[in-house]
Amino acid sequence: MSRLSGWAVFDLDGTLVDTLGEITEALNRVLANHRRKGLSKEEVMRLVGHGPNTLIERAWSKTGRTAEVGEVSDLAYQYSREYECNSPGMSRPYRGVNEGLQRLVQLGWKLGVCTNKHGVAARSLIRELGWSDWIRVVVSGDEAFRKPDPRSLKLAFQRMGAGFGRHLFVGDSEVDLQTAQNASVEAVFLRHGYGGMGKFRSRFFHDAVEMFRWVAQSGPIRKY
């Protein structure tokens, strides 16, 4: 008898990996290049969640004149180039993530990532962390649709070949919960990241250790 599969898609920044330091350093270099004051990690944490373009728009509004519509794409490109210049090893997985991903793969789960981060940066980070054999599908905001558009998450499951079994989306923000709801996918919220739950309610965990233990124990079929 064949084993049932679970299909789990994860947000990346703030969910699997603490990337706030890298984001802050790259953003501050762009701000400095345009003679704007730098922002603290705590300030940047309140700006992230909707991809590089929104990050730039919010950072520009916070540090002076609002960016013109035509400026945003160029500034976001500058930010992405600066992000690529960050030293390797700055971003590290949250406690329990390496072991949790490996355990789910051993149990037959198929894993993917759906992120508003640029695809080049997301795939580079996944390779750097040694997760490429576990996470085979990455859908990014610049290559498809930006969350909370449900098509981004649906595309991730489609590329994974998701069939019968359990479908999860794990994230750390209201944007992620909205995306899961829009796509009619079971949502899981991790508190250790950069966002909040907002008006949404879902399965809630303080850290990745708790979350992965629950996913592994609850199995590939959703229990109501």
Residues 140-179: tens digit of each pLDDT: 988 878 999 999 999 999 999 998 889 999 999 999 999 9
Whether residue 44 is found in the same domain as residue 147: no
CA dist., res. 216 & res. 85, Å (int): 37
Whether residue 43 is found in the same domain as residue 63: yes
Position 224 scores a pLDDT of 42
User: Which helix (H) or strand (E) segment is 154 a member of?
Assistant: helix 150-160
Phi then psi for 2, rounded to 5 degrees? -75, 150
Annotation says 133 is catalytic? no
Question: Percent of the chain beyond pLDDT 90?
Answer: 75
Whether residue 113 is found in the same domain as residue 198: yes
Whether residue 64 is found in the same domain as residue 95: no
- pTM reported for the whole predicted model: 0.88
Whether residue 95 is found in the same domain as residue 37: no
Say if residues 101 and 65 touch (Cβ distance below 8 Å).
no
Lowest mean per-residue pLDDT among 68-72, 130-134, 152-156, 217-221: 217-221
Whether residue 74 is found in the same domain as residue 137: no
Whether residue 209 is found in the same domain as residue 130: yes
What is the extent of the structural domain holding 214?
5-19+91-218
Q: Which of 36, 52, 84 lies at the terminal end of a domain, its last residue?
A: 84
pLDDT digits (tens, 9 = 90+) for 49-80: 778 899 999 999 999 999 988 899 999 999 98
Lowest mean per-residue pLDDT among 86-90, 96-100, 138-142: 86-90
Position 90 scores a pLDDT of 87
Q: Is the residue at 224 inside a domain?
A: no
Among residues 11, 13, 172, 176, which one is catalytic?
Answer: 11
Position 222 scores a pLDDT of 53
Q: Please report, for the domain that includes residue 62, its CATH number.
A: 1.10.150
Overall domain count for the chain: 2
User: Which helix (H) or strand (E) segment is 45 a member of?
Assistant: helix 41-45
